[in-house]
Amino acid sequence: MNAHSDMRVEADVAVKVNLLDFDRPALEAFFATMGEKAFRATQLVKWIHQSGVVDFDAMSNLSKKLRVELAATAEIAFPEIVMDRESADGTRKWLLRLNDGNCIETVFIPEKERGTLCVSSQVGCALDCTFCATARQGFNRNLSIAEIIAQLWIARSALGWDMGDDRAISNVVLMGMGEPLLNFKNVVAAMNLMMDDLAYGLSKRRVTLSTAGVVPALDRLREVSEVSLAVSLHATNDALRDKLVPINKKYPIAELLAACRRYIDGQTSRSITIEYAMLAGVNDSVQEARALAKLLRDIPAKVNLIPFNPFPGSCFERPDDEVTERFRQTLIQAGALAFTRRPRGDDIEAACGQLAGRVQDRSRRHERGRFEIVAAQQSQQAGSQ
Ligand code: SAH
């Protein structure tokens, strides 16, 4: 080790970089600063994200000198698992505590043909959708790249590192807590790692970002990524959507749907998932089903109906199954593709819109979410008993 690198090691000792914060290009840049070749980044990415190995000493194809240097300057640090619960239907939910004490949730949903991991992108959420538990706790902060990718790493560690066709986690959806497009840079980098063949190797069809409709960010996403897109529509007219998804006041339905068309422009084989939470007596009429089909007439889209998942203090109700089925049939008769998302893991509060996590240092604005936060704490305590 020369005098120069000695000095650098000393200077960095206090604050080690978390290598989970780097996608492959960033890791290549990091190794370049160490005077190492780019292939080192590939080796490290494979160890961490394909083999689940995070002990530098076990990385046998790195030289002893490099391992020592890495251990001195860098770390591979994860949030702490404070709760790990499994639902009667096999859905599994992890409550993860971040460095600053905030907690987030990650959910695994096994199905016959696939296993989907639902990943959070923010602590809390700023968008204030009236039917979502996460909104109740307000917005706290964006997750780092490390905190996003760690959710996949932790789930893979629990479920297995097999990369074959029957891998446990075949799909990732950015549908956990937060609005992913409001944490653009970190979400894009984390998704790049998910899709990197030398890391998790998921195809772009199997990584889906769900947005409430941040139109300018949606256009930016189109420029830098090819992930699949889900859009939370939930209403067919602006008056209602303004109330349910308040960001609609800024980017109304027509603008949002125009951005959807731009997103898949020219990619004939792609389609957009339209999420529609079924709220009894609010947006579940046959007329609305017809209006929805009409809105989507010129967009390659499939509609996912999500029967409302209640949470403590929520003021909506789930419609009867027949109402949801009538809505779906109406869509199909009008030429749309429509599916109903079966509620999964609602016995462990893991269903859509039930993720509450836990926020530290709540401002008074977040006080109204107290009920949910207390409930999350209680269920955490119950889980650890
Ligand atoms: N911020 C992103 C991700 C949110 S969660 C977005 O808005 O798309 C994923 C989906 O669950 C969204 O469509 C969201 O509107 C929906 N959702 C939220 N709360 C719900 C609830 N209580 N019942 C059913 N779906 C809900």
Plot region of 253 (φ>0 → left; ψ -120 to 50 → alpha; else → beta): alpha
Position in ligand 1 atom list of the atom nearest CA 127:
1
d(CA 233, ligand 1 centre) in Å: 10
Residue with the two structure tokens 């000493």: 57
| Residues 87 and 70 both lie in one domain | no
Domain containing 340 — which CATH number?
3.20.20.70
pLDDT tens digits, residue range 85-119?
A: 999 999 999 999 999 999 999 999 999 999 999 99
To the nearest whole percent, how much of the chain has pLDDT over 90?
Answer: 77
Domain boundary (75, 90, 124) is at: 75
Q: Which atom number of ligand 1 is nearest to the Cα of residue 311? A: 22
Cα angle 169-224-132, degrees, rounded to a multiple of 5: 55
Q: Is 116 in the same domain as 71?
A: no
216 and 336, same domain (yes or no): yes
Domain-ending residue, one of 48, 75, 102: 75
Prediction pTM value: 0.89
Distance 309 CA to ligand 1 centre (A): 10
pLDDT tens-digit map of 192-217: 999 999 999 999 999 999 999 999 99
C-alpha of residue 375 to centroid of ligand 1, in Å: 19
Q: Which atom of ligand 1 is nearest to the CA of 307?
A: 24
Are 313 and 264 within one domain?
Answer: yes
Name the closest-CA residue to atom 18, ligand 1.
353
3-state secondary structure of 25: helix
Q: What range defines the domain where residue 61 resides?
A: 3-75
Are residues 34 and 175 located together in one domain of the fold?
no
Q: Any residues with Cβ below 6 Å from ligand 1, and which?
A: 129, 131-132, 175, 179, 210-212, 232, 275, 277, 306, 308-309, 352-353
Cα(286) to ligand 1 centroid in Å equals 22
CA distance 199 to 148: 14
Kindly give the distance from the C-alpha atom of residue 334 to the centroid of ligand 1, in angstroms, as a whole number: 25
Domain endpoint, select from 75, 90, 106: 75
Mutate which of 106, 132, 303 for ligand 1? The one with the most ligand atoms within 8 Å of its CB, which is 132
Quick one: 54 and 84 in the same domain? Answer: no
Q: Are residues 349 and 271 in the same domain?
A: yes
> Is 68 in the same domain as 137?
no
52 shares its domain with 85: no
Query: SS3 helix, strand, coil % of the chain, rounded to 5?
Result: 45, 20, 40
Which residue's CA lies nearest to atom 19 of ligand 1? 353
Q: Which atom of ligand 1 is nearest to the CA of 174?
A: 3
Q: Higher pLDDT residue, 81 or 378?
A: 81
Question: Cα(142)–Cα(156) distance, rounded to whole angstroms?
Answer: 23
> Measuring from atom 21 of ligand 1, which residue has the nearest CA?
353
Whether the Cβ atoms of residue 93 and residue 105 lie closer than 8 Å to each other: yes
Nearest CA residue ID for atom 7, ligand 1: 212
* Same-domain check for residues 11 and 150: no
CB 300 within 8 A of CB 270: yes
pLDDT recorded at residue 378: 42
**In angstroms, rounded to a whole number, what is the distance separating the alpha carbons of residues 283 and 295?**
15
Tally of domains in the chain: 2
Q: Is residue 9's pLDDT more than 60?
A: no
Indicate the range of 165-169, 181-185, 292-296, 365-369 predicted with least confidence: 365-369
Active site residues: 105, 352
What pLDDT digit, counting tens, does each position of 277-322 carry? 999 999 999 999 999 999 999 999 999 999 999 888 888 999 999 9
**Residue 360 confidence (pLDDT):** 58
CA 42–ligand 1 middle distance (angstroms)? 36
* Alpha carbons 28 and 139: distance in angstroms, whole number: 33
Protein residue with least CA distance to atom 15, ligand 1: 232
